[in-house]
Amino acid sequence: VKYLLEDSIERQFAAFQRGFHSVCGGECLQLFRWEELELLICGSPVLDFEALERATQYDDGFSRQHPTVVIMWEVIHALDVDLQKRFLFFCTGSDRVPIKGLGNLNFVISRNGTDESRLPSAHTCFNHLLLPEYKSKAKLKEQLLKAINDTEGFHII
């Protein structure tokens, strides 16, 4: 076990450590506790989707009051944490929260037609969700879960 976890990656870890210290080293690194460094490097594990909802911008005929948007947020808030992380990953390419929280994420939801057979899609580089105009909460949830659970990577579905 020691060989697998330590010895076998010693050379690679030493290179990573040198690179990390060349960028982030020095006395200022000593000012942080390990928890603070983890937050800076990995982001926050706390998912505040209410803050994201308040900060979200809308485009192409959607607004905060649009029925599809209202039911989408109801669905998102009702998901368990694992599915919320998958949704965040689907939309942004990361399941971690930025340092300043989801309320500071530039997130956009655009209307993507009225064909309810289409799945939601996303431009992860731009934190941009393309959401068809679903009429029912059940259909929106079905299509959203299909999209976030069955897709990964760069392809068109």
The pLDDT, as a whole number, for residue 154 is: 55
More confident site: 57 or 22:
57
Question: Of 137, 130, 144, which is closest to residue 60 (Cα–Cα)?
Answer: 130
Mean pLDDT throughout 92-107? 90
Where is mean pLDDT largest: 25-34, 54-63, 93-102? 54-63
State both tokens at 37.
Answer: 């460094």
108, 58 in Cβ contact below 8 A? yes
For 19-55, the pLDDT digits (tens) are 988 887 777 778 888 888 888 878 777 899 999 999 9
Mean pLDDT throughout 66-72? 98
The pLDDT, as a whole number, for residue 152 is: 64
Active site residues: 125
The pLDDT, as a whole number, for residue 3 is: 93
- Cα torsion 2, 6, 10, 14 to 10°: value is -150
Q: How many CA atoms lie within 13 A of 94 on its CB side?
A: 15
- Share of residues in the chain with pLDDT > 70 (%): 96
* pTM confidence score: 0.78
Q: How far apart, in Å, are the Cα atoms of 73 and each of 1, 18, 137, 151?
A: 45, 44, 10, 21
The two most distant CA atoms of the chain are separated, in Å, by 57
The pLDDT, as a whole number, for residue 153 is: 58
The pLDDT, as a whole number, for residue 157 is: 45
Q: How far apart, in Å, are the Cα atoms of 40 and each of 18, 97, 98, 104, 126?
A: 19, 11, 9, 15, 21
Q: Is the pLDDT of residue 4 over 50?
A: yes
Question: Of 81, 80, 83, which is closest to residue 91 (Cα–Cα)?
Answer: 83
